[in-house]
Amino acid sequence: MISVAIDGPSGSGKSTISKLLAKKLGFLTLDTGALYRAVAYYFLKNNIDYKTNEEVIKNLKNIDISVCHDKNVQLIYLNGEDITNFIRTPEVSSAASNISAIPEVREFLINIQRDFAKTHNVIMDGRDIGTIILPNANVKFFLTASPENRAKRRYNQLIKKNPNEKIKLEDIINSMNNRDFNDSNRKISPLTPAKDAIIIDNSSLSLKETVDAFLSAIKERATIETK
């Protein structure tokens, strides 16, 4: 199996790039951030305190998360319910950042990620894929962009999915800044490039230019034919 790891901060375009690469390469994607969002969604939906580690750990036994693909689109199920379209809000993002710093949560989700890579050619994106989850990935990337660009992308993404919902760009920026700080400064699996990662800043790159940069690097390091 061939694995490509893509790490980077929220809003850098990891999920979009992963989907486009997977389509060209004939791979599947695994957006690992969605797994943490699913855990966060469980606590928010059930009004359970997610800021108390003991409370989070105690409730993990009640959470069952599964991943499936429908026409190469990743779907996330929480206790049998498809929650794919409900986990991209600023509230879920902030909660996921808090929850992802808890070692027991990371341990709870790690096997889902590694088992997926054992059975599929995969483009896996997250925050510690190349450093912790798949340290032996065939190719590792760290994708980033300016905070302003990332916030606008996430805002447009949310507006497109929820056109009737009142969403403020300011809230997105604040949520993203908080998550960047938390993810980069946590003791467990902080957001940082792997030593052998290829760093791509797509602040001034078009989507096509970004994808082409990834494909070029992948072809140099793995024998893969694009579709």
Per residue, the 3-state secondary structure of 95-141, as one string, reads: HHHHHCCCHHHHHHHHHHHHHHHHHCCEEEEECCHHHHHCCCCCEEE
Rounded-to-integer distance, Cα 95 and Cα 163, Å? 23
pLDDT score for 224:
60
Q: The sheet that has 122-126: what strands, in order across it?
A: 28-31, 122-126, 3-7, 139-144, 198-201
pLDDT score for 166:
81
pLDDT score for 226:
53
13 SS3 class: coil
pLDDT score for 99:
93
Residues of the chain with pLDDT under 70: 223-227
Burial of 137: CB neighbours in 10 Å, binned 0-12, 13-18, 19+: buried
CB 33 within 8 A of CB 125: yes
pLDDT score for 90:
86
Residue corresponding to tokens 């689109």? 73
CB 121 within 8 A of CB 1: yes
pLDDT score for 62:
97
pLDDT score for 148:
87
Query: CATH topology for 3-219?
Result: Rossmann fold (3.40.50)
pLDDT score for 3:
95
pLDDT score for 173:
87
pLDDT score for 225:
54
Q: Which two tokens stand for residue 142?
A: 């760290």
Output the pTM of the full model: 0.77
Mind listing the pLDDT tens digit for each residue in 100-133?
889 999 999 999 999 999 999 999 998 889 999 9
pLDDT score for 51:
94
Q: Which two tokens stand for residue 152?
A: 């606008």
Q: Specify the DSSP class assigned to residue 80.
A: T
Residue corresponding to tokens 């030593």? 195
pLDDT score for 223:
65
